[in-house]
Chains A and B, each alone.
Chain A
């Protein structure tokens, strides 16, 4: 089989690539969002204004109502991964414009500058209270965290890296779904990432999926809901179709609390809803339960 030897060659290249990257990339240095002392924001849940500076110190949780604010990928990694253990992998991807859509390149360039990311997903090696794992985080500030070719490829790569290293993987998803601007290519990423989950799972490795606000569309319908264990943050919007689309289709208002994490836990699609303050401890416990004897 010619194609098999081709693929083996490709694998070899991939391995070499990973080696090169491991040597060259220091752990991520993107800075925290600069927040001035006097910045106030309205909490989307209780409509009270909160000081962002103190909010960040409170792990992005509203002190009035306990609403979990969205977190940037970098902040999430700083919050979850032990200090100085994170090594970013899969750098250097360039998002292209396969369908030649007007304004898409400019949009990407703008978000790249704003968020200091290649695309809406970063992954790498890290430790959670000493437990080794591969950790991947989607960033909902980058074009609503939508999944295009690059995000799909990096998610797939993160699973492949975990297989290569025989490590468990933790993925935080936050996404509006597949990226429209890349059309059919985005749709196919759903198949690609799901197939990657299958390979990882077949190796007997653990995959913990953490659903954060918001997880909808193509990401819900692929790797995000395929975890061995699925956690979610309180109040997160999780669903396949967006609430607006459903309202338009059935022509009536949706009930209160529909498609929240608690709702899905009740319906049996999520293992635990975990408060952000308990998240790191829960993850490290779960990883420890599944630690393999060396």
Chain B
């Protein structure tokens, strides 16, 4: 039974609860719900987390921004082609500190998702993000990026306008920024499309978010030629926050309420805000050179490999 089925059961119980007036029965069922949640929803499989990361009710980037920053002003357009709605960018204050915030926005309804293109950005989206980051650097503003995308959009227009080049340029320029960059993965972190906003001093991740090189479905269909084996793929791909923290790809896990972020949104927003500010206060102490150095040092050490020690081997004969 996956997490969504368990959630339906909880919903069922809560529905029964609302139908009953009897206080004794109400207490009993409430206790049952609590017990059930604690028993069944604490241990999640990677596939459960994938489902939660894509959950219909999961808070989107805009919800986080609205909670964290009351005076957020959105800025549009990449100055080259058009405004990509799947990436939101703008300026706002959090606890008195001005931030540039850039986020990938999913829609909550189908209509909104069509406008947001299911949070799959086109090249102009990445160029908008880059423009705003450059602007932030000019004014010495720290940057927060919020990542929630299935991946960069694979389409004719995207290819014609250089999807690869846009992402590459973001990776290059983000590594060179001299202001603090904090990235938060709140849902799906899909492939290069996510990494193009994810070259940061600190990468935070919600407990049930995922971050991977491609979707479990894509992985299953390439390796086993069967997309329905996605749950198994999620298992072997090591895409959960806990796995990535172990690999030190991400720096910090933000705990979610029992059953996922949508069960207690306020708490998730607050925890996320606190985590961001805490990391920012640490980074604030560093000079621009140290910020640049810290990020590049981190990037340079990514990888899992080994090399012969030549002194011991006396060289290799090929």
Residues of chain A at the chain B interface (Cβ within 8 Å): 1, 3-4, 7, 17, 20-21, 24-26, 28-30, 91-96, 98-101, 116, 149-150, 152-153, 156, 178, 180, 182-192, 194-195, 197-199, 202, 217-218, 220-226, 239-241, 245-246, 249-250, 254-255, 258-259, 267, 269
When the two chains form their complex, are residues A221 and B299 in contact, meaning their CB atoms are under 8 A apart? no
When the two chains form their complex, are residues B199 and A191 in contact, meaning their CB atoms are under 8 A apart? yes
Instruction: Report the minimal beta-carbon distance from B146 to chain A, rounded to whole angstroms.
Output: 18
When the two chains form their complex, are residues B316 and A25 in contact, meaning their CB atoms are under 8 A apart? yes
Contacts of B214 in A (CB 8 A): 180
When the two chains form their complex, are residues B164 and A240 in contact, meaning their CB atoms are under 8 A apart? yes
When the two chains form their complex, are residues B164 and A99 in contact, meaning their CB atoms are under 8 A apart? no
Contacts of B154 in A (CB 8 A): 240-241, 245-246, 249
Contacts of B297 in A (CB 8 A): 3, 7
**Which partner residue on chain B sits nearest A102 by CB separation?**
B236
Binding site secondary structure of chain B: helix
Instruction: Report the minimal beta-carbon distance from B170 to chain A, rounded to whole angstroms.
Output: 9
**Which partner residue on chain B sits nearest A7 by CB separation?**
B297
When the two chains form their complex, are residues B303 and A183 in contact, meaning their CB atoms are under 8 A apart? no
Tell me, in angstroms, the Cα distance from A92 to B309 when the chains sit together: 8
Instruction: Report the minimal beta-carbon distance from A118 to chain B, rounded to whole angstroms.
Output: 9
Binding site secondary structure of chain A: helix
Query: Given A225-B168, A246-B159, are A191 and B195 also a contact pair (CB < 8 Å)?
Result: yes
When the two chains form their complex, are residues B172 and A226 in contact, meaning their CB atoms are under 8 A apart? yes
When the two chains form their complex, are residues B239 and A184 in contact, meaning their CB atoms are under 8 A apart? yes
Give which listed residue, A3, A96, A250, contacts B155 with CB less than 8 A. A250
When the two chains form their complex, are residues B155 and A249 in contact, meaning their CB atoms are under 8 A apart? yes
Tell me, in angstroms, the Cα distance from A150 to B223 when the chains sit together: 21
When the two chains form their complex, are residues A192 and B302 in contact, meaning their CB atoms are under 8 A apart? yes
Contacts of B167 in A (CB 8 A): 190, 221-222, 240
Whether B222 sits at the interface, judged by CB under 8 Å, is: yes
When the two chains form their complex, are residues B238 and A184 in contact, meaning their CB atoms are under 8 A apart? yes
Tell me, in angstroms, the Cα distance from A152 to B305 when the chains sit together: 10
Contacts of B72 in A (CB 8 A): none
Query: Given A20-B310, A184-B239, are A189 and B303 also a contact pair (CB < 8 Å)?
Result: yes
Tell me, in angstroms, the Cα distance from A289 to B175 when the chains sit together: 29
Contacts of A98 in B (CB 8 A): 247, 304
**Which partner residue on chain B sits nearest A181 by CB separation?**
B223
When the two chains form their complex, are residues B293 and A191 in contact, meaning their CB atoms are under 8 A apart? no
Residues of chain B at the chain A interface (Cβ within 8 Å): 152-156, 158-165, 167-169, 171-173, 175-176, 191-192, 195-196, 198-199, 211-214, 219, 222-223, 236-239, 244, 247, 249, 290, 293-294, 296-297, 299-300, 302-308, 310-311, 313-316, 318
Tell me, in angstroms, the Cα distance from A25 to B308 when the chains sit together: 13
When the two chains form their complex, are residues A92 and B316 in contact, meaning their CB atoms are under 8 A apart? yes
**Which partner residue on chain A sits nearest B223 by CB separation?**
A180
Contacts of A191 in B (CB 8 A): 171, 175, 195, 198-199, 299, 302
Contacts of B300 in A (CB 8 A): 156, 192, 195
Query: Given A25-B315, A149-B303, are A195 and B175 also a contact pair (CB < 8 Å)?
Result: yes
Contacts of B307 in A (CB 8 A): 92-94
When the two chains form their complex, are residues A241 and B163 in contact, meaning their CB atoms are under 8 A apart? yes
Contacts of A7 in B (CB 8 A): 293, 297
When the two chains form their complex, are residues A192 and B299 in contact, meaning their CB atoms are under 8 A apart? yes
Tell me, in angstroms, the Cα distance from A217 to B161 when the chains sit together: 15
List the 4 shortest-distance A-B pairs measured between CB atoms, nearest first.
Answer: A241-B154, A220-B164, A24-B315, A194-B171
Contacts of A93 in B (CB 8 A): 305-307
**Which partner residue on chain B sits nearest A3 by CB separation?**
B297
Contacts of B168 in A (CB 8 A): 190, 194, 220-226
Extra 16 A-B pairs, beta carbons < 8 Å, given A91-B318, A189-B303: A30-B318, A94-B307, A184-B238, A184-B239, A184-B244, A184-B249, A187-B213, A191-B199, A191-B302, A192-B302, A194-B168, A199-B296, A220-B164, A240-B154, A240-B164, A250-B155
Contacts of A184 in B (CB 8 A): 211-213, 238-239, 244, 247, 249
**Which partner residue on chain B sits nearest A152 by CB separation?**
B303
Tell me, in angstroms, the Cα distance from A79 to B223 when the chains sit together: 35
Pairs across A and B, CB under 8 Å, 24 listed: A3-B293, A30-B318, A94-B305, A96-B305, A116-B318, A150-B303, A183-B237, A184-B239, A185-B249, A187-B212, A188-B299, A189-B302, A190-B168, A191-B171, A192-B303, A194-B175, A195-B176, A220-B168, A221-B171, A222-B167, A249-B153, A250-B156, A258-B156, A259-B159
Contacts of B249 in A (CB 8 A): 184-185, 188
When the two chains form their complex, are residues A198 and B303 in contact, meaning their CB atoms are under 8 A apart? no
Contacts of B212 in A (CB 8 A): 183-184, 187
Instruction: Report the minimal beta-carbon distance from A173 to chain B, rounded to whole angstroms.
Output: 11
When the two chains form their complex, are residues A187 and B171 in contact, meaning their CB atoms are under 8 A apart? no
Tell me, in angstroms, the Cα distance from A197 to B175 when the chains sit together: 10
Instruction: Report the minimal beta-carbon distance from A187 to chain B, rounded to whole angstroms.
Output: 5
Contacts of B238 in A (CB 8 A): 99, 183-184
Contacts of A91 in B (CB 8 A): 308, 316, 318
When the two chains form their complex, are residues A180 and B296 in contact, meaning their CB atoms are under 8 A apart? no
When the two chains form their complex, are residues B162 and A225 in contact, meaning their CB atoms are under 8 A apart? yes
Tell me, in angstroms, the Cα distance from A246 to B299 when the chains sit together: 30
Give which listed residue, B192, B223, B316, contacts A187 with CB less than 8 A. B192
